[in-house]
Every structure is written in C-alpha cells, then in structure tokens.
C-alpha cells in the first residue's frame, strides 16, 4: 500500500496490532454500539493514549464500511506506508540476519498466514517480487490476525538480483524444494540466512532455484504431493528458531 492511501482494517486483532505497531496512522476507529468486552476496552485505552477518534456506530454501518469482510464489531480506517525498501531492510538487520524470500505467493491468505509466522519467529525481513505476488492489503492483514504490522515487508524488483546481493553479504540462501535430497533438518540455520519459498502452484521458479546455495525439502508420506506454502513456511521458520535457540549465532 502506498503512503497516503486509505485502507480499511477489520477485526479485533488486526485493529489492536495496528494500534500497537504505530507503523500506520489510524484516522478513526468505528466500534459496534454496546460492545464492551475486555479486548474492546484495550483498544479504547490505546486509542485514547494516541489521540485517535473512536465512534460508536450501529452494526449496519460497520457492515457497509467493511465491504463484506468479517469485522467482529470493529473497523479502523488507516493510512501510511506498507512495504519498506529493500535497502532499509538490508541496512538495519545487523550482522546475523534471518530473512524470508517469497517467490510469487499469490494468495493473500497464504501471505497473511506466512507473515504471522514470520512475526512469531522474529524474522528480520520478508521480501516479495514486484510482479506475480500478493501485496499488502486488508485480506493479508486479516489473515495475519494483524501481525503483518510487525513484519518488515519489502518489494524487490528482481529476486535473482536480490539473492545475489544477499550472497555478496555472506548470507546463505536456502531454497525449499520438495524434490531436494537434503531434509529440512540437515542444514545449519545458525548461519546468516535467507529462506526461499515458492508459490502455491509451481514452487520456486527455475532461475531463483539456481541462485540458491542449497535446497532442502520436507519429506512427505506417499500420495501427498506438497504442503500448503504457509504450512511449509511455519515448519522451516521454527526449525530455524529451534536451532538458533539451542546453538545461538555462530
């Protein structure tokens, strides 16, 4: 989402996480008349601290604002920048980064679920290509339960060029490919790292695959061709968390 363009954020968790992150400006929050539970009180308290306007409105007003999305009795109108620049992510990720590169993940729900896992795994940055990929949107925010707000998402003009830049910086580029002979647990993820996952239908594109340092796969039972990309991302991300928790950076 470009700076200045308004977006509607729907649901308790997406609105709460947007408030907490402070990355985007919330112009106004609309809450269903009569809703007074603990989570709403938390939102009201944060909104008050930040000087954000809150309006109590009937359910039909929320339905209209949400444009058919599930809103759980709360809708926020937000503006501000979505993706950050590749340069900003690379310049501020320290000497031992942990990146995620998504090669043409097109389903907003998958992207949202991946960003939620990336936030939980403390990924330093997520890179997506300029074309052929889902982008920051209300559907992505909703699918991430608002946790997309915690992740630095950057759009790269060319993923192959990005991978070359990462390798020049001493970062290992590890592609996830179902045909790989190396199981996903047989790599040392305590190294400076960029995990690469491919899109829902075709996986990692050939040129992107050829620019990975190593390929790893998740062995599956016979008759199961592949995992959903968001599930595969969760498996890999938390193997990195497990290894780094046990060994720490090298």
CATH number at residue 67: 3.30.1330.30
pTM to 2 decimal places:
0.77
C-alpha to C-alpha distance for 20 and 34, rounded to whole angstroms: 24
228 and 117 in one domain? Answer: yes
Place of tokens 């112009």: 27
Which of 50, 79, 108 corresponds to the end of one domain? Answer: 79
Does 2 map to a domain? no
138 and 35 in one domain? Answer: no
pLDDT of residue 1: 36
pLDDT of residue 193: 97
Q: Which residue range is the domain that position 35 belongs to?
A: 7-79
Does 1 map to a domain? no
> What does the block give as tokens for 133?
């990929």
239 and 120 in one domain? Answer: yes
211 and 180 in one domain? Answer: yes
113 and 59 in one domain? Answer: no
pLDDT of residue 246: 64
Does 13 map to a domain? yes
H-helix segments, 58-128: 59-66, 86-91, 108-120
What tens digit of pLDDT does each residue of 164-207 get?
999 999 999 999 998 888 999 999 999 999 999 998 878 999 99
Which of 49, 79, 109 corresponds to the end of one domain? Answer: 79
Rounded to an integer, the average pLDDT of 31-40 is 89
Kindly state the helix (H) or strand (E) to which residue 209 belongs, with its residue range: helix 206-210
pLDDT of residue 240: 97
239 and 215 in one domain? Answer: yes
Tell how strand 153-156 and strand 125-129 pair up.
parallel
Instruction: Answer yes or no: is pLDDT of 3 > 50.
Output: no
96 and 68 in one domain? Answer: no
What tens digit of pLDDT does each residue of 92-144 get?
888 899 999 999 999 999 999 999 999 999 999 999 999 999 988 778 888 88
Q: How many domains does the chain have?
A: 2
Does 51 map to a domain? yes
CA atoms within 13 A on the CB side of 199: 17
């Amino acid at each position: 989402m470009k700076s200045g363009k308004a977006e509607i954020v729907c649901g308790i968790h997406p609105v709460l996480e947007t408030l907490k992150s402070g990355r985007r400006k919330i112009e106004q929050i609309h809450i269903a008349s009569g809703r007074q539970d603990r989570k709403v009180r938390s939102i009201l308290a944060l909104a008050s601290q930040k000087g954000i306007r809150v309006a109590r409105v009937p359910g039909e007003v929320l339905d209209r604002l949400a444009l058919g999305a599930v809103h759980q009795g709360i809708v926020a109108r937000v503006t501000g920048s979505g993706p950050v620049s590749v340069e900003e992510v690379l310049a501020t990720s320290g000497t031992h980064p942990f990146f995620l590169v998504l090669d043409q993940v097109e389903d907003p729900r998958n992207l949202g679920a991946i960003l939620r896992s990336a936030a939980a795994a403390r990924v330093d940055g997520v890179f997506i290509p300029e074309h052929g990929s889902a982008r920051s949107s209300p559907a992505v925010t909703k699918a991430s339960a608002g946790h997309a707000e915690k992740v630095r998402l950057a759009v790269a003009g060319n993923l192959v060029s990005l991978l070359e830049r990462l390798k020049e910086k001493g970062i290992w580029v590890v592609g996830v490919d179902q045909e790989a002979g190396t199981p996903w647990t047989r790599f040392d993820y305590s190294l400076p790292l960029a995990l690469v996952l491919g899109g829902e239908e075709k996986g990692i594109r050939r040129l992107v695959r050829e620019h990975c340092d190593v390929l790893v796969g998740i062995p599956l039972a016979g008759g199961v061709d592949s995992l959903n990309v968001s599930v595969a991302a969760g498996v890999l991300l938390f193997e990195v968390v497990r290894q780094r928790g046990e060994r720490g950076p090298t």
